[in-house]
Structure 1
Amino acid sequence: MSKRLRVAVLGPKGQCGACVVDELLSRGHSVVGISRSPPKTWQKPGDYGGIPCNFSDIKGLSKILSDGNFDAVVSAFAPPLTDLKAVYEVGVEGHGNIKMAILRSDYRGPLVIIGGAGSLYYKNGIQLCDDESFAFKHWYAWPDVHLDYMSTRMYDHGQRGFATFIRTFKWARGNRENPGWFSWLFRPFASLFLQFSRKTLTDSSALGLILCSRAALTMWEGVRETSWSFLSPPWQLRDKGIRTGKYEVHVDDTMGSAEYGIDNGIYNEDMAVAIVDEVENNKLNHKHWTCTGPIGLKEW
């Protein structure tokens, strides 16, 4: 670390934002968490403080950013998943409000925006979220260990219904792909559930988080008033992992130069390392990028 930085983290309580705060504090930086109700103190030692601000208050957020004497800003905003039908609208509004607040403020330092994997391009020029049968086909291709991770994550977040859906999806896929002696008895039930899953996972309300994150990317493309970079996590992003400090950066374009991120993953802890490295070095100015690293190093 060349010098101690003062960094604002928008959305410090989420799985990405919390790991970024941890990583910043571990390197001796000063952190200010900004959200509707940020933690007043942090569970790990370091110079941390919270400033409450509703992101719908563009003027208020703009003033905080103007007056905060920040060296860098990380936007880890994500809409709540409590109402899936409202996720897209709330997400687009939130990302848009943050953009307007930043551009209306006096802050012009490095900015890292965390989006979603759906924005990444295949080599055929199609974005992941526009691929045929998204997201059913892509869930179907996930390894069992990632489905186990997803169900565990949903239980942790109190979303037992979604966790049960994921476990049933895993069972139904296994019934079809790896039949056992008596699997034919349950084959009709597995087929019916997979048909239901296809309808559910391709419905627009289920894709709200992915699509609003893609919209956030389009909001920043072409903007030159501040030195932003936009991170789309890889498709198999996992939290509660292991910090190895190892990662690879892939800069994205319409020719699919970051396609590797679609088929691979990273732990949130290592993605936070990549984010804080970018905060300190600011090498990806005006770039869309992803990062990948080792996963599968622990059981779920």
Structure 2
Amino acid sequence: MMEPASTRLRVGVIGPAGFGGSYLCVELIDRGHHVVGLSRNPQKLGSHALYEPRPVDVDNASEAELAKAMSDVQVVVCEYGPHTAGHDGLRYMPFIESVRKIILAVKRAKVGYFVMVGGAGSLHVPGGDGICVADSKDFFLAYRRAIADSHAHVTYMEERLGPLGASLRAYRNARLALRSGGGDEDGKAAARTAVEAFEAKIKQDPAGGFIKAARASYMFFDGNTSFDWTYVSPSALYRPGKRTGHYEVTIDDLPLRGEPKGDNALDGRLMGVSAADLAIAIADEVESRRYKYQHWSATSDLSDDTPAPSYVTLDP
């Protein structure tokens, strides 16, 4: 972990009151940086002498309007997430268009450094012959199994997704019932049926539109030296959790543990990072620019499975 910077920065954060953005803003402010929150409702984060909420509708603002909102900051961190309603596939183009617009605004405003927080989908699977996570035949089943094994992660998904999170809880409970070895045969059969039905849906339609859009957004950056950037993809099991203060970085590849086993080469091998620890990693990068022009991920210790807040706010 880097020591706090002696030079205080003005940092624009797109999506300051969201999941990752709220943790990042608190981390930056705790280090003494001045944070400008850029979103439709940035005041949701709370108030602080070092926090300036600057309302802007990223989805509908023009490139010029976004550039004006960024005109006085030295670094911009994009924690943007789309708000388009409807089927997940409908979010592909809005997300790509908004990221394209944000990059053009960053260049127009002559922002010194741009930190893009994308998804794990653009990371490469080690040993996968260059295949990205979003295209992996093994990833999504391993991912669902891994998050179902975490009470903290399932709790987070319930808060975030509502009914979809409830189906994940039912899947977790069925898996636990099968592992326990107890219960009557009818109960075991019902649990087995529930697990098989849930996993069949994953195999049928593994990657949603937003995951593919986040993967595609990296193409705006790869090999582009017309502005200074870094692209961070959170590791697979990204969730609220304990702030350990320590993290490990990998470049381009999906962080994994151990050797492949079983039919699914990624089963039991996925790693994660807490929102608090990823905020540390991003804040370190804001200060150091160590990974300029690089695509990286970070992992931290998630052994504490206690549910944590999905969002944090500034102290009054």
Query: What CA distance in whole angstroms lies between the structure 2 residues aligned with 1:75 and 1:123?
Result: 27
Matching residue of 2:66: 61
Matching residue of 1:91: 95
Could you list the runs of 4 or more consecutive aligned residues of structure 1 that deviate by over 6 angstroms after TM superposition? Answer: none
Matching residue of 1:51: 54
Equivalent of residue 41 in structure 2, options 37, 44, 47? 37
Higher relative CO (Cα under 8 Å, sequence separation at least 6) belongs to 2
Report if the CA contact (8 A) 2:251-2:295 is conserved.
yes
- Superposition pairs of residues 1-300 of structure 1, within 5 angstroms: 1-39=5-43, 42-43=45-46, 45-55=48-58, 56-57=60-61, 58-65=63-70, 68-80=71-83, 83-85=86-88, 86-103=90-107, 105-124=108-127, 125-142=130-147, 144-145=149-150, 148-157=151-160, 159-182=161-184, 184-202=185-203, 207-239=208-240, 241-252=241-252, 256=253, 258-259=255-256, 263-300=270-307
* Structure 2 unaligned regions, length at least 5: 258-265, 308-316
Count of residue correspondences: 288
Report if the CA contact (8 A) 1:108-1:225 is conserved.
no
Report if the CA contact (8 A) 2:13-2:37 is conserved.
yes
* TM-score, scaled to structure 2: 0.82
Per-residue CA deviations over 1:51-71 (Å, capped at 9, x if unaligned) read: 122223222102222xx3211
Superposition CA RMSD, Å:
2.5
Percentage of matched positions with identical amino acids: 29
Code of the residue aligned with 1:116 in structure 2: it is G
Deviation at 1:187, TM superposition (A): 4.0
Per-residue CA deviations over 1:200-249 (Å, capped at 9, x if unaligned) read: 3346586233212111112211211111000000111111x222211111
Query: What CA distance in whole angstroms lies between the structure 1 residues aligned with 2:243 and 2:145?
Result: 28
Deviation at 1:181, TM superposition (A): 3.8
- Per the alignment, do residues 272 and 186 of structure 1 end up closer, same or farther by CA in structure 2, a change over 3 Å counting? same
* TM-score, scaled to structure 1: 0.86
